[in-house]
Structure formats: structure tokens, C-alpha cells
Chains A and B, each alone.
Chain A
Amino acid sequence: MTRRQIFSIAPRGIGHQRTGRRINQRAMLFSFASLVAFVWLLVGGAVAQGGGELRFCLRSEPKTFDPLKVEDDASESIRYLTGGVLVRMNRETQALEPGLAQSWEVSKDGRGIVFKLRSGIAFSDGTPFSAEDVAFTMQRLMDPALHSPTGDAFRSGPGNVETKIISPAQISITFPAAVAGLDRLFDQVAIVSAHSPKKEMAVLGPFVVADYKAGASVLLKRNPNYWKSDSQGRKLPYLDAIELDVQANRDVEMLRFKRGEIDLINALDSEYFDRLAATSPQQVQDAGPSLDSEQVWFNEVAKAPIPEYKRAWFRSQNFRRAISEAINRADLSRIVFHGHAQPAVGPVSPANKFWFNTKLKAEPYSPETALRTLQADGFHLDSGGLKDRDGNAVVFSIITNAGNKSREQMAVMIQEDLQKIGVHVNVVTLDFPSLIARMTQTFDYEAILLGLTNVDLDPNGEMNLWLSSSDNHQWNPQQKTPETAWEAEIDKLMRAQASSADAAKRKEAFDRVQEIVYEQAPFIFLINKNALSAVSTAVHGAHPVILHPQTFWNAEQLTVGK
């Protein structure tokens, strides 16, 4: 594959003759004017007409091109590049910016929102955009038969969503109950056309799907009807096209980047990052801590097939806190992630500027404190090994998914850290389906080390994790009523923040949730990985950030050229 050639220069001097001084002066003047025109075309035209072709890899096949059904990363990337949204969260400032809506207003009770839309906009196939399309999108999004993951975020209570078209450029949407962070949720809602014969393939975003080869690639081309222009009035996007190759193998992705066959790598592994940094430091970027975390948790499920005395350990706050205190997070960050990670504080990464509870600090590494904490529960050292008050040796297994090198290394380092307080850990690596079956169906495990990928800044996105009745309340899911007082308090706080439209009150409630999680340690948060990426020097205008999509969040302003 070769880059598209932007300019071609014709041979000079054809038919040029010497005809005297005056003619020469005229010719010089003409040449100068031509040169000026050529340079103008070269500079202006380069940006406005030919921004080149950007190429990068999707790590899996996109499961859908319907923006309302998106649930996988590959489809999400395509939705981001092709979908037009009413409001867009700026991935760099984390602030909301107008999109298809010029302005919007959320009602005081948090149930309704009124959008004032831009006029004169058309979908990629020329179909005009109006409030009718927004109403149609909301109707489809909230249709229970569609099972839209994006729609689930809006389901605040029983009842229907009401849309009212005030004028072709104004629409009001009312939900049955308050939806926390309502306006931010629209960042994920790509508007689909109510009238276009192309249905969801007619888009309002900067690019349009031009070609799709199943299992191989997706070609996006510039949307000729995209509404946005830059500050100098030039039509966006600058790029002519984006080619997305489906490539699951990260080694191959890295090799292709080194060969110059692709221009970007998102979510780069720390090892690859360092390797690339050694040879091409100008091509790698560490944007700081991301929202992703790695954590360990113990099995606290009442019906889990584990010995009763072990369940008692795992349900003890002192035991969990002691294990947390005995883990050297700084070493995990420094050794496993080559310094491209930070010791985790709690469930919210410091990268989440608004929601992170700044009062909390990372658990200091202290085996001595850990032993003292354990003694409070009757644990004692006996010939170098830790025993509980009934004389049972403290031995448990940590499982993680086979093939994930960084998790395996973290587990082995934790194994040695805990050995220092007399705790014997067996590290078990399982294939992912087996691990998930043990975690969600049989509950046949003692401790698990896994990661949490967070794409949503708002705590509402974590409701399924913190509510004790939820399937994803990993340490003890599907509780009919909260089994502990602190879980009941988390339930209450999470529901309170979800039903409030007052940002300060929501923050106060979620700060308390973070404090409880820190004190109780149901999840022992280990590290927050840094957002690492690689961008070819041929790409201009890239500013990788911590939020998805790290490297191409400003795709409409990127250009590719030598």
C-alpha cells in the first residue's frame, strides 16, 4: 500500500522562447504570478483538499455499523469517526462542547433536556437533518427490542421517554425519572436519519463508511456534507480517508507501525512503548494515568464452594486491608509497567479530574502494618507461616487469565510480597472462558486478579459494579438485600447520586462511595495504567489523550504527509 500522492509537477520549459527584453520582463512577471499561485495552491490546497490517508488497526472485527447497537471497541471507534452527536465531550479538556446542537438546557429536576439544533445540515447522502431525526434516534435507542447498550444508560426508571418537536430546530426530550449526567450521555448517541434510504449508513460525522471487507479492513472516506469548518473557514475533516485494518495480533501491529504501514497505535503495551521509545522517541506518547485499573478481589459469595474458614478471612475487613497494605504497588508500577503506571488509590483514577476524591492517597506499602492489622483478627506467625486463630495456614490462590504477561507478573510479585507476611499464594493462570465461568457461574475461586476498563467518566457508568444486587458486583454479586452495612450504604449513595441533577451533591455522594471502598477494600486496587500510544511523524495535529479514542479523538483535524 502506498500513500496517496498529493501533488504532481509537470515538466517545465515546453514552448518557452527568448524574444527580447520586454518579453522577458513580461515572462518573468508571468512566471512570478504563476509561482505565487502555485505556492498558494500548495499551501492552501494541501490542507483544504488533501489531508492524506490515515491508517491504523482495529483489534477485532466491528460487530455492527449501527451506532445504536455498539458494544465493542472496534464498532465504537467507527461510531466515533462516523457518527454525528448533539454534544461532544472534548477528550482533552473533558468538557462538553456543542455538536449538532448549538445549545442545550437540562431541566432542574434532571428529567428533561431541550436541544437547539444547527440548521442547514445534511446527512452524508444529502438527506436534510432536523429535530425529526433526533426524535427517531431516541425512539429507536429506547426501544427495548433493540437492546441498545447506549440506551441502557438512559433508563432511569419505568415509563417511556417522551420527545416533543418544538420546531425543526428545537426538540425537548423527557425521561420518566432523573438521569444523572444527562447531557454527557448524548456524547455516545450518534444521530441516525429518519428518512434516508441508506438508514444507519447515512451519517452526520466527519467520515463515512465507503468500503468494508469482512475480516480484513474498513475504509472510511471524508463526508462531503460534514458541517464543521476550522477557525479559518476550511471544511473539515482534512483527511481524505481512513483505512482501518482488522489486526488482533499486537506484535504484527507493532511491526507494521515500524515499517510505516500504519500511522497510529492506541493503548500501547509498556514493553512495546519502551522498545519503540529507544529507537523513535518522537513517535511515542505517554499521556499519564488512564481510567483503566488492575485489581485483586476475594470471593465473598455465601454459596461459593470454598472452606468456611477461608470465607471468614475474605469477609474480614482487616484481612483485606492487611493484604492491601502488604502489596508493593510502587514496585508493580516500576517493574511490570516500566514506570508507565501509577499506584492506584481507589475505584476512580486521578485521571478522572472531576470525580476523583482527592482526599484519598494510595495505600502505603507496609508489611509491618499489615501484620499488626492481621493480629487484630487473631492471625499469628508460626514458623514463618501465617495461621488464623484456629491454626489454619493462610494459603489461597489468585487466578488470572493465561497469556496476559503483565497480570501474570503482577501475580508473581504479589506472591512474593505476601510471602513476607507469611501468606502463601498459589498463582493459577486459566484460559479466559474458564476464568469467567468460575467468576460468574460457579464462584469456584478464592481471589482473582483482573483489570477494569473504564470508558465513562461519570459514576453512573459504574452502577452495575457497585450496586449489591448487580451481576457485576464481582466480590459478591446478586445480593437480594445488602449483606453488609457498608454495601447498603454504597447502594444508597449510588442511587442518590444517580437520581440527583445537582453536580455538587452527586460528587459528595460518590466521594463517600470512594472512601467506603478504600476503607473496606472489597477490590484491592493495584495500579492505574498510563495511556500509551504511538503516532507516526507523518501524522500532523495529533495530541494523544487519556480518554478513548486516545490518538484520533481529533481525527477531523489530523493530516498525513511527509
Chain B
Amino acid sequence: MTAWRRLACALLLLVVSVSLAASWLAPGGYARQYREAAGAPPSAAHWLGTDEIGRDRFARLLYGTRISLLLAPAAALLSTLMAALVGGLAGYMGGLWARLAMAATDLFLSLPWLFLLITVRAVMPLNVSPMASVLVTFSMLGLLGWTSAARVLCARTRSLRDADFVRQARASGIRGMRLFWIHVMPNLRPALYAQFWISIPVFILSEANLGILGLGVAEPMPSWGSLLRELEGLTSIGEEPWKFVPLILLVVVVTLFQFVLSKQEEVAA
């Protein structure tokens, strides 16, 4: 592990730890409206000021970070598993199965995912709690985000299938899923790790995009997307610089995720 990678991991861990301590660091909570101090600048009571309806921006940033950083990896795990299943099996089985799987992948890739998410949101039951909306949003991202990774994994599996050590194993009488799990899958691991780490910032940014459109996590639950909406209409950086803190944190975290990837995983990706 390189020093940079170690530092990135440490910083990510620090961000996650601080967000997990949100209830201790910001006891007022993310939803409480301090209406007499709406839109206030940073102060001792509100370290990052308050938003337009008086909610503590620091508390919302901590809780939003917790949501984005815990659920984006969960969505990434879901999408990577789906990619491994579809792409891995398609590459390993080849022939008609591979063609069918890749056709399905192409179909998913061609879907306008943003409109699909908007449509799914529109047909969802209305009375879902904010936490349920968070889970649904990230599940949707995970279920729709496996396609690119599936193509990469399919190609990788296909090359492994024709590798000498796999041929030798086959010649030794190992066949079917046993060959797949024992000889192919372990060699797919670097690619899977890479796809997992790459997906996390993609999902964080996707949720942020949905949040900017007002279609992500339901109010009053915060997320990085809803926090970034505060930047709408801001005409100069100097106007209220503290509003940029969520954006800076997002950029830092996404960058840290890139440093977390090892050389080998980068090549595999």
C-alpha cells in the first residue's frame, strides 16, 4: 500500500467517523428549524451558519455525509455484484448466453437513466418515510448502475476463460461452476474491487444530481445533493463562501476514492 493510498484511507475513515459522531457533534439535529436565525452566517451556535429556513448547516452536512458515504458504497456493492453475475457469467459461458447478456446490458445502457429515475419516483407510493426514500434512491442507483461494469467484467472473464491455467484446469476434469468459482472468480477480484471503488463516487454524484433536481432524498433528510442545491443562483464565490463547504467536501471525498485504488486495480478497471 502506497503512502498516498494509506493517507487517502485514513482521511476517508476520518470523514466517516466524524459523520458517525453527528448526533454528538450537532445535538440539535438536521431537521430543527431555528426560524429566528434563518439564513444566518457562521457563528458559535451554528458553525456553518443556517440554511434558508434556519436549519443548522453543519448538522445537515454531517448527517448528509453519513447518508451519502454509507449508502453510496452499499449501492456500489449491489451494482458490482450484479455486474459480476451478468458480466462474469456471460463471459464465462460465451456463445448465445454472452450475446443475450450483452444485448440486455446494451439495452440498459441506452436507457435515459435520469428520466427512468424520475418515472420511478413518480410511480412510487407517496407515503414513504424520508429514510425509505433514501434507501429507494440508492437501491435504484445500484440496480441501474451495473451495466458499464458488466461489460468490463465480461471481457475480463472471456480472457480468463481462454487462459492457460483455466485450460489446464479444464483438462484436469474441473468443469462448470466449480471451475468458475475456483479458478475464474479469484482472478476477477482486482477488476471487481476497481469497479466497486469507481462506482462509489459515481453514485455520490448521481444522488447529488438528483438532489439538485429536487428528486433525491426526501425532506427533511439531508444529503449532499440537497446541500448542493443551496448553490443555485449564487452569483459570486465571495458572497457566502461557507455554502461551498459541502461542495469542497464532495470533491475531496471523490478524489480520496481515486487515491484508494491500487495500481493493479486501476489497470483492471
Contacts and interface: CB of A to CB of B under 8 A. Distances in A.
Interface of A: 251, 254-255, 271-272, 275, 331, 335-336, 395-397, 399, 402-405, 408-409, 411-413, 415-416, 426-431, 434, 444-446
Interface residues of B, number: 25
A398 to B, nearest CB: 9
B126 A428 contact: yes
A254 B54 CA distance: 26
Contact of B53 (A336, A397, A404, A429): A336
Contacts, number: 71
A210 B58 CA distance: 55
Contact of A275 (B33, B127, B130, B235): B235
B214 A426 contact: no
28 contacts: A275-B233, A275-B235, A336-B52, A395-B127, A397-B126, A397-B127, A399-B126, A402-B214, A403-B214, A405-B232, A409-B53, A412-B33, A412-B53, A412-B219, A413-B33, A415-B219, A426-B127, A426-B130, A427-B219, A428-B126, A428-B218, A429-B214, A430-B121, A431-B118, A431-B122, A444-B126, A445-B126, A446-B126
Contacts of B229: 405
Nearest to B239: A275
A430 B54 CA distance: 24
Nearest to A403: B214
A254 B235 CA distance: 10
A351 B233 CA distance: 30
Contacts of A251: 233
B135 interface: no
A255 B232 CA distance: 13
Contacts of B214: 402-404, 408, 429
A491 to B, nearest CB: 31
Q: Which 5 A-B pairs have the closest CB atoms?
A: A434-B122, A402-B214, A397-B126, A427-B219, A429-B214
Interface of B: 31, 33, 35, 38, 52-54, 118, 121-122, 126-130, 213-215, 218-220, 229, 232-233, 235
Contacts of A446: 126-127
A404 B229 CA distance: 11
Nearest to B32: A416
Contacts of B121: 430-431
Given A402-B213, A412-B219, A429-B215, A335 B127 contact: no
Contact of B233 (A272, A331, A428): A272
Given A272-B233, A416-B33, A434-B122, A396 B127 contact: yes
A148 B129 CA distance: 45
B122 A409 contact: no
Contacts of A396: 127
A426 B129 contact: yes
Contacts of B130: 426
Contacts of A397: 126-127
A310 B233 CA distance: 39
Contacts of A416: 31, 33, 220
Given A412-B33, A412-B220, A426-B218, 15 more contacts: A272-B233, A335-B35, A399-B126, A402-B215, A403-B213, A405-B232, A416-B220, A426-B126, A427-B220, A428-B126, A428-B218, A429-B218, A430-B122, A431-B118, A444-B126
